Structure 1
Amino acid sequence: METQFNQQKNSFFQSTTVKMAMVGFLTLILLIPLAFVKDLISERSMRKKEVTEEVSNLWGKDIYFYGPILKIPYKSYDEYNITNPRTGAVTIEKKITTKNAFFFPENFNSKTNAKKNTSLKRGIYNNVVFTANMNFQGNFGKLNFEKLGIKAEDLLWNQASIVVKTTNLKSIKSDLNIALNNQKLNFESKSDEDNFYGTLESDKFDYNTLNKSNALNFQFNMEYNGSNSIKFIPIGKKSIVSLDSDWESPSFEGAFAANDTTKAINKKGFHADWKILDINRSFSQQHIEKIPNLNDYAFGAKFIETVDEYQQNERASKYGFLVIGLTFLIFFLIQSISKISIHIFQYSMIGLALIMFYTLLISITEHSSFKLAYLIAGLSVVAMISLYSKSILNKKFAGFIAVALTGLYTFIYVIIQLESYALLVGSIGLFTILGAVMYFSRKIEWK
């Protein structure tokens, strides 16, 4: 009786259903080390972002350019009622204060060439930044003080100046001066309540002296060290901006789209043009007291890495459960069809080998390309599992496993590289795999 009970007990643990349940449970257990691998990828990615941020702070961050703006001070009169405490008589006194009127240019033309710099390396991280050479030309037209309610006799013409608001003051690498009708004026930085922008203001000049022909032409150059993006505020009544770079993966963003007829992107870089008229945006050409915040109208290009190595590693790790599950399924089908017994410990070794693929992938990627790292890690894991399979199965099944794993890793790589069609290709691939599993498992005895 005891012998029969033991035989029934052994028969129960050797049944296909129990083996399938144990393999499924092991698959779930292996999600724990897979989660640790994902945390490792996130940690390394955060470390890269920290290093990139550190280098950007030293080299130069995003470039926002807002100017040039003509600034003309004027006298403002404030009236106060003064009551005599003894007699009760009321007198009116005027207090004179100085305020500022700001005028945007009639025409604003900019040509910028941004060249990437790959020499800044911190440890294993390459930080791609750029140097932007920016040329600005244009003119200020007739000034309309009537819209601002300012009388001509109150204007302080001899205290006029040019204001430029921009980020990255510390990363400007050129001497700063501006030519107004061929007269050169120097810029110097000024304190500003705006924490986003820094302010450059020119030497004072007499507007009437320079503006003899009713046109104030300007021309100046600036050289920046920057990273991430270059953006402009279209303050000209007609703003024409041209941007060239050897960066091969830009993202054009902001309130205005680049001209499709002249926009070009290739492996050598990109070129983009913008033309914005005053009717395309809803702000005036003249302002009083303070320069308005017009960041919502900014436009330009962002210099991006479409998918960096950590993003690719993260995407690969998301398919870890699929790889482990399908690999175990292949072994389980072989075991069920061939009647060869595979111990749960052997499944564990195979699962750990599959997890090691991702640690190999990220460690090799940091010192080479993702493509090469994927090839080395994939071949290593396929070779290890195939040789291990040869010891527990026969040569024919080991060869089949090698081909199946190679196809699986190739399929995952193709999905990772695709962007627009990743979901479509993945769905078709999984549907095909499901069909193959249903076909090969149709004659398995599940009792």
Structure 2
Amino acid sequence: MSRTLGFKLGAIALLMLLLLIPLLMIDGLVDERQGLRHQVLQDIARSSSYRQQITGPILVLPYVKTTHVWKTREQTGERYTEERQQQGKLYFLPERFELDGQVSTELRARGIYEARLYHSDSLIRGQFRLPARFGLGDDLGFYSFGTPFLAVGISDIRGINNDLKLRLNGQTLSFAPGTHDSRFGDGVHVPLPALDSQGGQVLDFAFDLKLQGTEQLDVVPVGRDSRVSLKSDWPHPSFVGEYLPSRREITAQGFSAEWQTSFFATNLEETLRGCEGQSLCQGLFQRSFGVSFVDPVDQYLKTDRAIKYALLFIALTFATFFLFEVLKRLAVHPVQYALVGLSLALFYLLLLSLSEHLPFALAYGISATACVGLIGFYVSFVLQSWQRGLGFAALLAALYGMLFGLLSAEDYALLMGSLLVFGVLGSVMVLTRRLDWYGVGRSA
């Protein structure tokens, strides 16, 4: 290879490395704008309500256990009994737990940023079957019981939008703030009438819960048989948690999903016993499932992914430019390569700024059209022919189309990128199969 051609290729490689500087600056700007948006979203959630998790209802029965321990006095050897009292709580999970919810979403804007809030209108119902003698057997006589209550954990009680009333065996009872038990976190509770400790008592319960939240709604399936049904106008749900829906249907108008679990799958009784002595029962909260309402079309994420392909994109454009140069015997100055490269880098800045105000696909189309038009106009004069400039612009537009396909196809991005690079390499080899590279260097 002649020295002139070697210098030319070296200059092109150096230009590509120098173009990394504006690309890294734009990538840093993407991170900065993304962080600013996240801060605004948190501010909106802080002034309304955060993501919500419903835990319960769980029936709690406080008790005092009194036992007598025989002791002996050291001086006289006389035996006597000492009374000891131990405070605690018995926990009973529902035999059947059902939640039927309708969820609607809305946008709250602050400046150019938007946060998606949801409003759930749910009917929660089920049944408790208390074991005979509360499962204590012959030890029941050692226990004295306090006022039982029903606890419902709600992670952010600011989102409660209705006056909660419990319907229990035909009675209507009012909820009070706080779960009355720290291991369930924030929420509400309702005192219950005295329970029959001798026979197995059946308690049918139901209450309506209107809840506002952001980002995500989770439910802990506390029943021996738990059934949860959610319907929403949100067409892009992301199902999260420990259990996937047993049935789901997603359309452009929204989604519907149903979950069904049992004690065999959740093992919540064992989990609840394992929380004894803990101030907060994290194991119980982790046995949850739900749906995320986060918009999957994140313009910052897609812009960041586009920048990751920038070096490959510039290399392919420079390779096309170089092929025009060597095949048509033209002399293109490195400064002209640099101007084309800066135009390619400017595309990502346009994409970032426009996508904050327009849908990503439209912002991408406008940015790509502007860059293709500018480069095509400039290259027409560099290559001394508007036909060549038009052909170069068409190839560049095809590259932008392929890049958009890579951004849209998350699961097949690697496959499509590999095929693209292989196709470009094959095209270069076919076009230059009869080219005398030593002759190119001498003529240059």
Scaled by the length of structure 2, the TM-score of the pair is 0.89
Aligned to 2:245: 258
* Cα distance in 1 between the residues matched to 2:73 and 2:199: 50
In structure 1, the partner of 2:213 is 226
Mean Cα displacement is larger for which, 96-105 or 309-318?
Answer: 96-105
Residue number in structure 2 paired with 1:8: none
User: What SS does the aligned partner of 2:269 have?
Assistant: coil
Compute the RMSD of aligned alpha carbons: 2.7
Match of 1:445 among 430, 437, 442: 437
Residue in 2 aligned with 1:60?
Answer: 49
Structure 1 CA distance, aligned partners of 2:119 and 2:398? 44
CA displacement, residues 325-344 of structure 1 (integer Å, 9 cap, x when unaligned): 11111221222222221111
Instruction: Please list, as runs of the form range in 1=range in 2, the aligned pairs for 1:239-388 lying within 5 A after superposition.
Output: 239-260=226-247, 263-284=248-269, 293-388=283-378
Structure 1 159/401 Cα, relative in aligned 2: closer, same or farther at 3 Å? same
Report the CA distance between 1:142 and its aligned residue: 3.1
- On the 8 A contact 2:120/2:211 being kept in 1, the answer is yes
Any unmatched runs of 5+ in structure 2? none
SS at match of 2:256: strand
Amino acid at match of 1:398: G
Q: Deviations over 1:232-278 (max 9, x none)?
A: 22221211111111111112232223113xx2111111111122222
Whether the 8 Å contact between 2:152 and 2:179 is mirrored in structure 1 is no
Identify if the C-alpha distance between structure 1 residues 258 and 411 changes in structure 2 by more than 3 Å, giving closer, same or farther: same
Cα offset for 1:97? 4.0
Give the equivalent residue in structure 1 for 2:62. Answer: 73
- 2:147 paired with 1:162: no
Matched position secondary structure for 2:41: helix
Please identify, of 352-361 and 317-326, the stretch whose mean Cα deviation from structure 2 is larger.
Answer: 317-326
* Cα pair 1:167 1:196 within 8 Å, conserved: no
Of all paired residues, the percent bearing the same amino acid is 29
92-101 or 327-336, which deviates more: 92-101
Distance (Å, rounded) in 1 between the aligned partners of 2:114 and 2:339? 36
Question: Structure 1 pair 144/31, CA: closer, same or farther in 2 (3 Å)?
Answer: farther
Which of the numbers 427, 430, 438 marks the counterpart of 2:418?
427
SS at match of 1:139: strand
Equivalent pairs, count: 432
Query: Using a 3 Å threshold, how does the CA distance of structure 1 residues 108 and 35 change in structure 2: closer, same or farther?
Result: same
Letter in 1 for 2:154: T
Residue type matched to 1:445 in 2? W
Read off the aligned partner of 1:22 and give its amino acid letter. A
Matches within 5 A, 1:27-106: 27-79=16-68, 89=78, 91-106=80-95
The residue type paired with residue 389 of structure 2 is: A
8 A contact 2:130–2:200 mirrored in 1: no
Measured at CA, do residues 321 and 149 of structure 1 come closer, stay the same or move farther in structure 2, by a change above 3 Å?
farther
Greater shift in the superposed pair: 191-200 or 295-304 = 191-200
Q: In structure 2, what residue type is equivalent to 1:56?
A: A
Tell me the distance in 2 between the aligned counterparts of 1:231 and 1:94: 45
Distance 1:69 1:413, change over 3 A: same
Please give the secondary structure, in 1, of the residue aligned with 2:158: helix
Distance 1:332 1:98 in 2: 84
Structure 2: how far apart are the matches of 1:145 and 1:283? 22
8 Å CA contact retained: 2:49, 2:214: yes
Cα distance, 1:428–1:375 mapped onto 2, change above 3 Å: same
Instruction: Give, in whole Å, the separation in 2 of the partners of 1:45 and 1:356.
Output: 19
Deviation, 1:134, is 1.6
Report the secondary structure of 1:375's partner residue.
helix
* CA deviation string 1:103-148 (max 9, x = no partner): 1111111111111111x10111111120111211111113244644
**Is 1:133 aligned to residue 121 of structure 2?**
yes
Counterparts of 1:183 and 1:289, CA distance in 2: 32
Q: In the alignment, does 2:204 pair up with 1:217?
A: yes
Q: Is the 8 A contact 1:101 1:289 kept in 2?
A: no
For 2:394 and 2:264, the matched residues in 1 are separated by 64
Secondary structure of the residue aligned to 1:223 is strand
Q: CA deviation at 1:23?
A: 0.7
Q: CA deviation at 1:295?
A: 2.5
Q: Distance in 1 between matches of 2:394 and 2:415?
A: 24
1:73–1:155 contact (8 Å) kept in structure 2: no
Deviation digits for residues 210-232 of structure 1 (CA, Å, limit 9, x no counterpart): x9993211111111111222222
